[in-house]
Amino acid sequence: MNKPVDSGESKTTIISKKVKENFEFWLFVLPGMIITFIFHYVPLYGIQIAFRRFSPRRGIWESAWVGFDHFERFFNSPYFLTTITNTFILSFYSLVAGFPIPIMLALMLNSFRHKRYRKIIQTVTYAPNFISTVVMAGMLLLFLSPRVGIVNNLIGIFGLESINFMAEKSMWRHIYVWSGIWQNTGWNSVIFFAALAGVSPEFHEAAIVDGATKFQRILYIDLPTILPTATILLILNCGSMLSVGFEKAFLLQNDLNLSVSEIISTYTYKVGLVQNDMSYSTAIGLFNSVINSILLLTVNRVANKLSGHSLI
């Protein structure tokens, strides 16, 4: 609050000062708000094309109203079950396999005594996080290439036949998930590592004097410390269960693995901008985000009941 500077200052000057101050603040926030309004709020208005037969020539208002036709079409199409199942399996697998590993890495690094070596491991494991999705997918294709890839060369040493990984449907999910773990584990451990730095050394000292082993200290001191952080991240991850990112899946797709790699976001893109069926694509996207919100709220409620930690 703006306090009067000296007793002689009258009320009106304080008010005019306040107005001037706030005017300045509004100028500060205005550019961001205008941009956000145009590119994040105006599209909300455009969602109505999900209920119309949109044609670019006619514009949004003039396009015919068709109600829930596009949604029905999606529910009845063979892609409905495939894309939803694929999306769900992919994110569930990523979550179950990928969530505990950064926590374990942080716990191990934290209990590790040698500071220099720890620093080296951190620097190296953070690095893949900055590799672009395109390069990541490119690396996978290079390593897993049936003719010249290093993985098949290794397999060859053991006298086994080479595998065309990217054409193998059963391999695709493993490749997607484990390459993601390779890329993100280090970076995802940062937040847990930071939380562990907040543990007072006195706890550990007291535990040592009482004869606790290192493993017991990790279990009863370190782990409970990061539990709230872990819960909130888990909620966030569960809430975005059906919003698997477009980028990597799209790049790793080919005709042979499409039956497991076609997920909601890639399908939305193809329908909307490749086949130009914009209304249908918007309807699928809308359906997806409604499900996402329901998931987030449900998971949040369950987590709140179980552990007392919640997001909202």
- Interface with another protein in residues 5-24 (CB under 8 A): 5, 18, 21-22, 24
Q: Please state the φ and ψ torsions of residue 111, each to the nearest 5 degrees.
A: -85, -5
Residue 55 contacts another protein per CB under 8 A:
no
Asked if residues 111 and 266 have their Cβ atoms less than 8 Å apart, the reply is no
* Among 64, 81, 96, 124, contact with another protein (rule: CB under 8 A): 124
Smallest CA-to-CA distance from 100 within 304, 297, 237 is with 237
Task: Tell me which DSSP letter residue 213 carries.
Answer: -
Site string for another protein, 78-97 (x = CB under 8 A): --------------------
Residue 226 contacts another protein per CB under 8 A:
no
Q: Which stretch binds another protein (CB under 8 A): 67-75, 82-90, 91-99, 274-282?
A: 274-282
* Among 191, 223, 234, 256, contact with another protein (rule: CB under 8 A): 191
Residue 257 contacts another protein per CB under 8 A:
no
Tokens of 275: 């086949």
Residue 209 contacts another protein per CB under 8 A:
yes
Asked if residues 76 and 93 have their Cβ atoms less than 8 Å apart, the reply is no
Rounding to the nearest 10 degrees, give the CA dihedral for residues 23, 29, 31, 34. Answer: -100
* Among 249, 285, 300, 303, contact with another protein (rule: CB under 8 A): 285
Which residues neighbour 129 within 8 Å (Cβ) at sequence distance 6 or greater?
Answer: 183, 184, 186, 187
Tokens of 50: 């999900």
Residue 219 contacts another protein per CB under 8 A:
no
Q: Which stretch binds another protein (CB under 8 A): 7-15, 61-69, 87-95, 187-195?
A: 187-195
Task: Tell me the CB-side half-sphere exposure of residue 10, using CA atoms within 13 A.
Answer: 3
Q: Which stretch binds another protein (CB under 8 A): 7-15, 67-75, 77-85, 246-254?
A: 246-254
